[in-house]
Amino acid sequence: MEQHYQLLRKHIEEICVLTDEEWDVVAQRFTYKSLKKHQFLIQKDQLVPCEYWIIKGLTKAYAIDSNGKEHILQFAMEQYWTSDFNAFQNKVPATIIIDCIEDSEFFCLKWEDREYLCHEIPKLNHFFRIKSHYGYIALQQRILSLLTETAEERYNNLIKKMPKLIQRVPKKLLAAYLGVTRETLSRF
């Protein structure tokens, strides 16, 4: 477990270096959680108390449309943050679902604890601001890719950009992320 905490510290310190005292305050606020493949991290219509940092494993965040089809918003693996950020931030019931593609372990941070840390440790406020900003930029890129590229181009770019992910995710889920059917993807 201690080495998991060290990983999280390292992750945060890629953006801002903490003193040992600061780190102690931070580490105290995270709790550990472990789930098996297929178990839910977040279920629809439930409140979302935490955001989650992935120690190990792989999750998908998705919505189900009126025809029962799954559309994937995010794959998250080691060192990624995931949650229904809207539900988490605004304390409303979840509109997206997150479950585990592999057995997974998480560090969980409650909303109150995040706000406490941001308030007490300016560096953490900075950290989350920068993280949010990078997240925003990544989503902009994804929107542009949905607007400008064909499904096949999106698939090829995903392979280039996240080769490790491709190995771990069944193609039918990649299709649900790229916005095509699995049949179409299999013809590329």
Partner DNA sequence: ATTTTAGTGTGAGGTAGATCACACTTTTGG
Partner DNA sequence: CCAAAAGTGTGATCTACCTCACACTAAAAT
The binding site for a second copy (CB under 8 A) comprises: 63, 65, 69, 71, 73, 85-86, 89, 118-119, 122, 125-126, 128-129, 132-137, 139-144, 146-148, 179
150, 156, 159, 161: which one contacts DNA (CB under 7 A)? 150
Residue 51, SS3 per DSSP: strand
Residue reference for tokens 């903490």: 18
Backbone CA torsion sign across 139, 140, 143, 144? negative
Cβ proximity to a second copy: between 105 and 113 the closer is: 113
Listed ranges 10-18, 71-79, 91-99, 167-175: which one lies at the site for DNA (CB under 7 A): 167-175
Residue among 100 and 178 whose Cβ is closer to a second copy: 178
Instruction: Give the one residue of 10, 14, 28, 38 binding DNA; rule: CB under 7 A.
Output: 38
- Integer Rg of the chain from CA: 17
The answer to whether 78 and 10 are in contact (CB under 8 A) is no
Cα separation of 163 and 159, whole Å? 5
CB of 169 to DNA, least distance (A): 8
**What is the nearest approach in angstroms of a second copy to the Cβ of residue 56?**
25
* Interface pattern 49-68 for DNA (x via CB under 7 A): ------------------x-
Distance CA 65, CA 71 (A): 8
20 binds DNA (CB under 7 A): no
Instruction: Name which of 3 and 148 has its Cβ closer to DNA.
Output: 148
What is the spatial distance between Cα 102 and Cα 167, in angstroms, rounded to a whole number?
12
Dihedral sign computed on CA atoms, order 157, 161, 163, 167: negative
